[in-house]
Amino acid sequence: MLRDITLGQYYNTSSPLHDMDPRTKILGVIFYMVVLFMASSVWEYALAALFTAFVIKLSRVPISFITRGLKPLVMIMGFTLALNLLMTSTGNELFHWWIFRVTDDGVALAVKMAVRLVLLVMGTSLLTLTTSPIALTGGIERLLSPLSRIGVPSHEIAMMMSIALRFIPTIMEETDKIIKAQTSRGADFESGNLIQRVKAMIPILVPLFAGAFRRADELAVAMECRCYNGGAGRTSLRELRFRRIDAMALIVGVVLLAAMIGLKILAAGGIA
Amino acid sequence: MIKAENLSFSYESEGAEVKVFENLNIEIKDGEFVAVLGHNGSGKSTFAKHLNAILVPKSGKVTVYGIDTADESRIFELRKNVGMVFQNPDNQIVATVVEEDVAFGLENLGVPRDEMRQRVDEALNTVRMYGYRKHAPHLLSGGQKQRVAIAGILAMEPRCIVLDEPTAMLDPIGRDEVMETIRRLNREKGITIVLITHYMDEAVKADRCIVMDRGRIVMDDSPQNIFPRVEEVRALGLDVPQATELVWELKRRGLNVETGALRSAQAVEAILKMYENERTK
Amino acid sequence: MIELKNVTYTYNKNEPSARVALSDVSLKLDDGDFLGLIGHTGSGKSTLMQIVAGLLPPPQGSVSVDGRDYADYKSAARELRKKVGLVFQYPEHQLFEETVYKDIAFGPKNQKLTGDEIDERVREAARRVRLDSGLLEKSPFDLSGGQKRRVAIAGVVAMKPEVLILDEPTAGLDPAGRDELLNMLGELHRDWRRTIILVSHSMEDIARTVKTAAVMNNGKLVMNGPVEEIFSRGAELRTMGLNTPQISRIVDGLIDAGLPLSRRIFTVKAAADEIEKIVRSKR
């Protein structure tokens, strides 16, 4: 189950998308989301879907890997689908059952919402699939850095993200070990009512937090020993370089946005 | 040169003052390989933390390459010169990629990128981890992680590296890797090494051993002169290499064997010599 | 008695990252055994011990407990968890209660013992691990590293498991702390006559504490027998990334130089005895 969540995972390969500057990709995703939420007609959706397919192809991430990421979202999608299907009252009635009325408008809306969600998840997960965590944090830091003038701690945010990413596997391993150790002491995490189960978590949570604090403490000393002093005057081994491919990607993004607006104007003209 | 003069340190516990050590005087010369020994609570770790101003003296003075560790304005200069490697390899690696971690100190110091690239690669080569530069640290073995941590210090081009029980959490392979690396840094690069350890087979590789007990220095000599004093060393809660113990035991039983062996080969040689002497008698 | 037959265990089965941790391991633990388990990191020794303790998903192969064969590991695991207590590496990192007493009592409480029984178990376990009874009402987080370690071990000892497994119990201790802990284990085995398994990569610890040992390498059980037999195969051990005690390297060196010694020597005292004997016989 945990392994099905591809959101946030990095797929290591080389592709034009992998080579892009993380800043471009972050901006691209923001663009993409705007476009998706603007879409309303079938043609607009078709354009967005075509674009998504093109980018997936470009990323060289196997489609099966991306669709696997949709699995945990089936519940949410089913829910929105049902909601849209049953709660839309405009349009021609197709059939009704008990207090519910299903209309053609409702069906259209439900399908659109489902497509929008699928595209949204597939498109945004491409950001993390093609960008290593460290490049991602670097990109976020740079994008936020103009904001540090108005007091946003952009370096600290990026450093925190990077350390969190570094320690997630270590803490996961530790959690596994603590659970096993307490199981070996006869702890029972599976039976009893809700309160008993919450109480049963204490032997796991206390050592876990104590361990996290201990690690944080040691890490802080180790960082100080290596002359860490916040973001001021820092250089970086990683190079963020805005290249031709990034310029091209941004142009494509603008074109896509323009096309979307164009389609909207066309549709408006059609109605009038 | 590193110099501690009349160094004292204490902390508060439940309202009472606990003395860790008092009036410690130690001098460590450039290029020396010093092992600091002592049981847990002897004050050896606390002493080590004074060498790069993680702790500053409560009284007395520590001077490191002419820098007073209490001088906050020179703290980065000090820490650049005295690097520190800790026991738990997991809790001192900051980045999610090996080479990024090695670069961490250089990034903090504001080293330009081209020079940084070169120093990172060189440090990784020195600890023989260059082939792993793109790997995620959490997938490495303990010994490899510790070598990455050493590379991170090494890239800062320190004159001295203090290692606080760097092998305590490692298996025999990892221990060998780390010890071999430390020795090479000392012999080939002339870096001063201060190694805090419980393992006597590591201490015998040093030029000099400082034995601490309840906050005092009780022995300060070469391992050749310290370990043959088997009874004293044991009374301090420390081990003696089995080679040393064996020849000492034979001598104690009245055999005419030369004591002072530290390594297996030396013990073998001493015992064979005695055997020959007995035979030709 | 616990017997594993042809046990194979794979992590992340059916995944590209699948890794075989144990392959075709058979191991028999008789009541009252005091076994050393040796192997470097990744040799599979921890996996093997977790299977014995009933803490992993079902492996391939069969498991029998007290002569009863279990068709599926799941029901065997329930039985194993009752019988086997596993002290993990750095067990002090699993302490969680407000007082030392409560922490040690956690296991016995889970065994649904009465208040009096629990009290008795806690006090006995504390005595066993040589924990000063004055510490029982303190917070475990206020103790020294060595004391915390002993509290954590007492927490499992208090459950009186029929098989007690300790994974690298001496890691990070100073020589005095290590000696005390190993002596304590020896005493516990002598008094209890229950099975104890000491997992370690320190050959010196194994040599002085147990009589029989098993060696793991690359997920396989490669040696199993008396300690002197295992240490007499020093060259093989070294190719597995393991060391022999320094004393057996010295004895090997003396034998190679022509001294009539036995390769089955692995303690300083035994070596001194033998060398003294052959030297005196020359006189």
Same domain, B212 and B259: no
Quick one: pLDDT at residue A272?
A: 41
Instruction: Tell whether B62 and B119 lie within a shared domain.
Output: yes
Residue B183 belongs to domain with CATH number: 3.40.50.300
Q: Please tell me the distance in Å from C183's CA to the nearest CA on chain B.
A: 15
Q: Do C55 and A206 touch (CB under 8 A)?
A: no
Interface check A173 vs C, CB under 8 A: no
Q: Is A185 at the interface with chain C, CB within 8 A?
A: yes
On whether any CB of chain A is under 8 Å from the CB of C34, the answer is no
Query: How much is the pLDDT for A1?
Result: 34
Mean pLDDT across chain C: 92
Q: What percent of chain C has pLDDT over 70?
A: 98
Q: In whole angstroms, what is the distance from residue B34 CA to residue B208 CA?
A: 5
Question: CB-based contact (8 Å) between A172 and chain C?
Answer: no
**Is A102 inside a domain boundary?**
yes
Domain membership flag for residue A137: no
DSSP letters, B240-273, are --HHHHHHHHHHHTT--------SHHHHHHHHHH
Question: Are A11 and A76 found together in one domain?
Answer: yes
Residue range C99-142, pLDDT digits in tens = 999 999 999 999 999 999 999 999 999 999 999 999 999 999 99
**C150 in the Ramachandran plot: left (φ > 0), alpha (ψ -120 to 50) or beta?**
alpha
Closest residue in A to C55 (Cα–Cα) = A180
Closest-CA residue of chain C to B270: C254
Q: How far is B269 from chain A (nearest CA, A)?
A: 44
Domain termination site, one of B240, B255, B272: B240
∠ CA(A176), CA(A178), CA(A181), 5° rounding? 110
Q: Are residues A106 and A59 in the same domain?
A: yes
Q: Count residue pairs from A and C with Cβ separation < 8 A.
A: 55
State how far residue C6 is from chain B, nearest Cα, in angstroms: 27
Residues of chain A with pLDDT under 70: 1-8, 270-272
Q: Where are the alpha helices (DSSP H) in chain A?
A: 16-19, 22-38, 42-59, 63-68, 74-87, 104-130, 133-144, 154-184, 194-200, 202-225, 244-271
Domain count, chain B: 2
Inter-chain contact A226–B104, Cβ cutoff 8 Å?
yes
Nearest to A134 by CA among A245, A10, A25, A26: A10
For residue C24, pLDDT over 70 is answered with: yes
Residues B211 and B270 in one domain: no
Are A53 and A177 in the same domain?
Answer: no
- How big is the CA angle at C82 (ends C2 and C60), to the nearest 5 degrees? 50
Does any domain span residue A140? no
Contact partners for chain C, using 3 or more CB pairs closer than 8 A, are: A, B
Residue of B nearest to C246 (CA): B242
Say whether both A117 and A198 belong to one domain.
no
Specify the pTM: 0.87
Q: Which domain holds residue A186?
A: 153-239
My answer on whether A127 and A247 are in the same domain is yes
Q: Do the domain assignments include residue A142?
A: no
- With 90 as the cut, is the pLDDT of residue C225 above it? yes
Q: Which residue, among C73, C54, C87, C76, has the nearest Cα to C196 in the 3D structure?
A: C87
User: Does A263 fall in a domain?
Assistant: yes
Axis-axis angle for helices B113-126, B142-154 (nearest 10): 140
Cβ–Cβ gap A203/C93 under 8 Å: no
Cβ neighbourhood burial of A231 (10 Å; 0-12, 13-18, 19+): middle
Pair A7, A121 in one domain: yes
Q: Among residues 209-238 of chain A, which lie with CB inside 8 Å of chain C? A: 210-211
* Contact state of A207 with C94 under an 8 Å Cβ cutoff: yes
Residue of chain A whose alpha carbon sits nearest to that of B75: A227
Residues B185 and B88 grouped into a single domain = yes
A247 assigned to some structural domain: yes
Q: Please report, as a single letter, which amino acid is at residue C277.
A: K
- Tell me which of C38 and A145 has the higher pLDDT: C38
Are residues C259 and B272, on separate chains, in Cβ contact within 8 Å?
A: yes
Residue-wise pLDDT for B165-198, tens only, equals: 999 999 888 999 999 999 999 999 999 999 999 9
Q: Quick one: pLDDT at residue A245? A: 85
B252 and B208 co-located in one domain: no
Q: Which residue has the higher pLDDT, A6 or C78?
A: C78
A225 shares a domain with A247: no
C-alpha closest to that of A82 among A56, A106, A48: A106
The verdict on A99 touching B (C-beta cutoff 8 Å) is no
Q: Do residues B72 and B208 both lie within one domain?
A: yes
Residues in chain B predicted with pLDDT less than 50, given as ranges, are: none
> Which residues numbered 199-218 in C keep a CB inside 8 Å of some CB on B?
201, 204
Let me know whether A11 and A125 are in one domain: yes
Asked whether residue A224 falls in the same domain as residue A235, the answer is: yes
Report how far residue C117's alpha carbon sits from residue B46's, in angstroms, rounded to the nearest whole number.
Answer: 43
Q: Do A103 and A86 reside in the same domain of the chain?
A: yes
Chain B residues within an 8 Å CB radius of A177: none
Say if residue B129 is in the same domain as residue B258. Answer: no
The domain total for chain A is 2
C132-165 pLDDT, tens digit each: 999 999 999 999 889 999 999 999 999 999 999 9
Query: ∠ at Cα A180 (A176, A184), nearest 5°?
Result: 170
> Which residues are C199's β-sheet partners?
C37, C167
B92 neighbourhood in chain A, CB within 8 Å: 218-219, 222
- Show the domain range for B63: 2-240
d(CA B51, CA C30): 53
Nearest to A184 among C86, C95, C141 (CB): C86
| C96 Cβ under 8 Å from any chain A Cβ | yes
Residues A224 and A266 placed together within one structural domain of the fold:
no
In a domain, A145, yes or no: no
Minimum distance, in Å, between the CA of residue A106 and any CA atom of chain B: 47
Residue A254: name the closest of A20, A53, A34, A16 by CA.
Answer: A34
Residue with tokens 């994008």: A143
Cα(C244)–Cα(C207) distance, rounded to whole angstroms? 9
What pLDDT is attached to residue A129? Answer: 86
- Cα C229 to Cα B48, C44, C121, C207, C237: the distances in Å are 43, 22, 38, 11, 12
Give yes or no: residues A230 and A251 share one domain.
no
Q: The sheet that has C2-11: what strands, in order across it?
A: C19-29, C2-11, C60-65, C68-70
